[in-house]
Chains A and B, each alone.
Chain A
């Protein structure tokens, strides 16, 4: 009697059906990872690696190769990349919804999360040392 409340409000639980909670959690965690790491990644691979005269570039290239070759770094990289991918996928999906594709919110999961999943698998292969895909 006491636990059901006086007017039965506790009865008739509505079924929870929120895959959205799951995707949002990935989005959120990925947002943190992307914010912390991606700017630095871009600076390293997009600016510092290719910049400078050949000698400097060669030294940097070697350092980069060794730095990302250590297995704990590979695992960390995989985590950061996968979460960041799902962050982007979720945001892209919701942006498309906000811009008029809301009625396809379910359908949009396929290219968005599917794409993130495919890229994640690729990342796992790449970091395992399997480079045959590119």
Chain B
């Protein structure tokens, strides 16, 4: 298989070339923030077991502006992850009713946003009730 001819140089800054690439990059970066959050979440869970005083101290630390800002960023990342993930559902998991394909918005609601809202409500209720 001859693959002769002129090869254009690698484009290292490829992700800046199209708006779609930038959106892709932002979506991928959510994983860094979510990974960071999960570690902090584990610290929180471990403080629960360390006794009321230790937990209260940790929660007090979490209310400092730096931690609040970090959590706002984490929240944006997690929400963006959810939106992009459910946005991909109609493409990745098409559902056919006979010859007809379930429309994208309905697929997203049924397999994405609906369960998401339900789970979120249950989690918040259960954890703080």
**How would residues 51 to 79 of chain A score, 1 for a CB under 8 Å from any chain B CB and 0 otherwise?**
10000011011011101110001000100
Would you call B39 an interface residue if the criterion is a C-beta within 8 Å of the partner chain's C-beta atoms?
A: yes
**Which residues of B are found within 8 Å of A85, using beta-carbon distances?**
35, 38
**How would residues 20 to 53 of chain B score, 1 for a CB under 8 Å from any chain A CB and 0 otherwise?**
0000010011011011011111111111111010
Determine the distance from Cα of A11 to Cα of B87 in the docked complex, in whole angstroms: 41
**Which residues of A are found within 8 Å of B126, using beta-carbon distances?**
67, 73
**Which residues of A are found within 8 Å of B102, using beta-carbon distances?**
none
Determine the distance from Cα of A119 to Cα of B72 in the docked complex, in whole angstroms: 23
B34→A34 contact, CB < 8 A: yes
Determine the distance from Cα of A67 to Cα of B124 in the docked complex, in whole angstroms: 10
With A42-B74, A49-B59 as known contacts, state yes or no: A35 contacts B128, CB within 8 Å. no
Interface residues, chain B, CB within 8 Å of chain A?
12, 15, 25, 28-29, 31-32, 34-35, 37-50, 52, 55-56, 59-60, 62-63, 67-68, 70-72, 74-75, 78-79, 81-82, 85-86, 112, 115-116, 119-120, 123-124, 126-129
